[in-house]
Amino acid sequence: MQNPLPLIALLASEAPLRAKPSLYPEPFASRVSGREKRVLGNLFELNNFGVNLTRLAPHAISALRHAHTKQDEFVYILEGCPTLKTDQGNTQLAPGMCAGFKAGTGDAHQLVNETAEDVVYLEVGDRTLGDAANYPDDDLKAELDKGHWKFLHKDGTPY
């Protein structure tokens, strides 16, 4: 059997939804309901970074507010007006705006859809080994272990 031909291009909104809506353990997974991720980079077998097309229904959040130790992140807003929450406070975003979150600064971030319209954005993050994520507002920390995220209480006990 021959390998299928590699994918050349596709309409991002037609990419399949990520099989598992959230990687978080409960009670955190329920807090990201209303968030849909379409995994784009993996469709092209990219390894060094991931790209998702993410949709937030009204009131949905991108993630728990977090900061990565090794992974740079970048978002570009395609539709809607999410609120970016960082240690500096709230910043209103709009289509065509972008933001970057440099690894290791400790400044945690999240997008929150506080509007009545959906928000759609592209998110990019690299896959540097040894990454970890800190969640200043929640009893949670995460460690990347052999390509899989391990979620722990702040005292190190696993969920």
Binding a copy of itself by CB under 8 A: which of 101, 119, 132, 140?
101
Residue 102 as a binder of a copy of itself (CB under 8 A): the answer is: yes
Residue 24 as a binder of a copy of itself (CB under 8 A): the answer is: no
Count Cα atoms within 13 angstroms, Cβ side, for 95: 7
Residue 94: closest CA among 107, 78, 106: 78
Computed on alpha carbons and rounded to an integer, the radius of gyration of the chain in Å comes to: 16
- Closest to a copy of itself by CB, 28 vs 52, is 52
Q: Which stretch binds a copy of itself (CB under 8 A): 18-26, 57-65, 91-99, 135-143?
A: 91-99
Binding a copy of itself by CB under 8 A: which of 54, 62, 71, 110?
71
Sign of CA dihedral 46, 80, 141, 68: positive
Q: For residues 52 and 98, what is the distance between their CA atoms, to the nearest angstrom?
A: 15
Q: Which residues bind a copy of itself (CB under 8 A)?
A: 5-13, 40-41, 43-49, 51, 71-72, 74, 76, 84, 86, 88, 91, 93-94, 96-103, 105, 107, 122, 124, 126, 128
